[in-house]
Amino acid sequence: MRRRIALVVPAFPKTSETFIVNKVLGLLELGWDVHVVCGRSDPAEWERFSQLPRTAEMRRRVHVGWPHRPSWRAAALAPVAAASCLGAAPARTLRFVGRGSRRYGAGGTLRRLYVEADLVSLAPEIVHFEFGALAPARMYLRDLLGCRIVVSFRGYDLNFVGLDRPGHYDPVWDTADGLHFLGEDLRRRGLRRGCPPERLHALIPPAIDAAFFRPEPREWTAPSEARPLRILSVGRLEWKKGYENALLAVRSLRGEGLPFQYRIAGDGDYLGAIAFARYRLKLEDTVHLLGGLARDEIRREMQNADVLLHAATSEGFCNAVIEAQAMELPVVCTDADGLSENVADGETGFVVPRRNNLALTAKLSALARDPELRRRMGEAGRRRVLAHFQLADQVAAFDRFYRAVLDAPASLRAADARGNAARADEDATLASLVEEHRPAIQAAGGDEP
């Protein structure tokens, strides 16, 4: 029988989250019964995905949640939602209501049943929160639904969400069956925020379509007034991407007398700050703000560029940097989060400490003066992408990870309780802990497939 898995995302499909679409299609191919549970699904977005079949079969796999607003509408629809759950999965619904009402009372349970109606009807073996921020408030699903829970951390969730609330992710650390991080750096951030090191996890980096991002042959030349060095940045205009440091870095290139052009592809609210920095640094004639570009335009920009600059202060992993490497473009980037795992320092580009524009300048200048080095790093970049960041490999890695999650013993709460106790330095015996956590352990035991 195909094993059922539900991916929870805010919206599906979404151009900025193409990786979810690719993953769904890949897992379906590997024989998983994949469903997507989301809050919105925009028909116009469907049109933008040529790879997404517009069949009833595909649409059946996308579940848009019941409306939350206005609240009177939600209240009116709640009985309908509950009835549909009962019809679709009577045993699961009763279990949900039974366990829920002991914990949250009748009102709280009904509210949760309404929010989770799609998941209750689907009764998947695994619920995967694709964005860590979605998870902490909904970890009750494991007990109430009797499923395994996997949570992905992609950068924003660990770097920003709940930063001023210690223990924000404790429900996830205590309950999740498997954790997915984009890379080692993000996992370290997770550990710093309280993630138990022994927890089952997988490091699966993002992947791109290397067949689409395939370069045409190009000439590598030393920059001159007639043919300045072409620097490119691709990414949303937000402070995290460190554009100010990028601009400071390229300004120093001008001090070195190196002719260059800097193009920034992306759109966002930080435009005002970037435009101001460009003005203050007197770079208006050499720095071009291109606005948001479509995928094929990005490919064209990368084909025409000499080096990709990514000065981020905070960055999950960065698909644009993978795409640039696939396009045989050498990369100069910072060590923000996953970037140092994305780019092989000294091989496919240079990785320098974040917030250090002098280091960026030095590496840009080294690449500018050595066309042969650029060619070599570019080619190494494509080899790296083909070896590590291919879609098929990524889907295979998720396949293995999900199997591992399903195969792992479910009595995780006990192990966790021990872990927590050790952290809290409590001198408690295992027996008393087991006693204390008996209901939870029984619940977890009841989940054995």
Partner 1 sequence: MRLLVVGSSWPPQTFLGRLLRGLSAAGVRVRVAFTRWPNQEWFHRAGLRTFKTRDWKGPRLLRLGWLAWLSVRALFVAPRALGVFWRHARAQNSRSATLRALNRLLPYAGVSCDVIYLPWNSAAIDYLPLFDLGKPVVVSCRGSQVNVAPHNPRRTVRQGLPATFEKATAIHCISDSIEVEATRYGLDVRKSRVIRPGIDPDFFSPGPAPEPSDKIRIITVGSLVWVKGTSFGIESMRRVLDAGVDATMSIVGDGPERQRVLFAIDDLGLRDHVRLLGRLPPIAVRDELRRSDIFVLPSLSEGFCNAAIEAMGCHLPVVMTNCGGAREGVTDGVEGYIVPVWDPEAMADAIIRLARDPELRARMGRAGRERVLREFTVSRHVKQFLELLDEVRRCDVA
Residues within the interface to partner 1 (CB under 8 A): 159-160, 163-164, 239-240, 244, 248, 270-273, 275-280, 289, 313-314, 355
Which residue, 93 or 314, is less far from partner 1 as judged by CB? 314
Nearer to partner 1 (CB atom), residue 169 or residue 213 = 169
Comparison of 125 and 337: residue with beta carbon closer to partner 1: 337
Which residues neighbour 56 within 8 Å (Cβ) at sequence distance 6 or greater?
none
**Nearer Cβ to partner 1 (41/314):** 314
Residue type at 84 in one-letter notation: S
List, in sequence order, every residue forming a beta bridge with 229; answer none if it has no partner.
260
Give residues with Cβ within 8 angstroms of 231, minimum separation 6.
250, 260, 261, 262, 263, 305, 306, 307, 308, 309, 364
Q: Rounded to whole angstroms, what are the CA distances from 325 to 58, 233, 254, 370, 393?
A: 33, 13, 26, 18, 17
Q: Which is nearer to partner 1, 160 or 212 (by Cβ)?
A: 160
Angle formed at CA 158 by CA 155 and CA 163, multiple of 5 degrees:
135
- Minimum distance from CB of 425 to partner 1 (Å)? 21
Minimum distance of partner 1 from residue 262's CB (angstroms): 16
Instruction: Rank residues 82 and 249 by Cβ distance to partner 1 and give the closer one.
Output: 249
CA distances, 289 to each of 134, 250, 261, 273, 275 (Å): 33, 14, 11, 12, 8
Q: How far is the CB of 270 from partner 1 (least distance, A)?
A: 7
Q: Determine phi and psi for 329, rounding to 5 degrees.
A: -105, 125
Least distance from partner 1 to the Cβ atom of residue 355, Å: 6
163 vs 222 by CB, closer to partner 1: 163
What is the SS3 assignment for 183? coil
CB-nearer residue toward partner 1: 277 or 441: 277
Rounded to whole angstroms, the Cα distance separating 9 from 277 reads: 36
Task: Between 79 and 291, name the residue whose CB sits nearer to partner 1.
Answer: 291
User: Tokens for 278?
Assistant: 């460009």
In the complex, minimum distance from the CB of residue 239 to partner 1, in angstroms, rounded to a whole number: 5
Angle formed by the axes of helices 357-369 and 243-255, to 10°? Answer: 50
State in angstroms the smallest separation of the CB of 244 from partner 1.
7
CB of 248 vs partner 1, minimal distance in Å: 6
Minimum Å distance from CB 159 to partner 1?
6
For residue 350, give the H/E element and its range.
strand 349-352
- Distance between first and last Cα of the chain: 13
User: Exposed/middle/buried for 25, CB within 10 Å: 0-12, 13-18, 19+?
Assistant: middle
CB of 446 within 8 A of CB of 142? no
Instruction: Please identify, using beta-carbon distances, which residue of 346 and 353 lies nearer to partner 1.
Output: 353
List b or e across 30-65, with b for residues whose CB sees 16 or more CB atoms inside 10 angstroms. Answer: eebbbbbbbeebeeebbeebeebeeeeeeeebbbeb
Peptide bond into 79 cis (omega under 30): no
Nearest distance, CB of residue 279 and partner 1, angstroms: 5
Show the tokens assigned to 223. 């920059």
CB of 34 to partner 1, least distance (A): 33
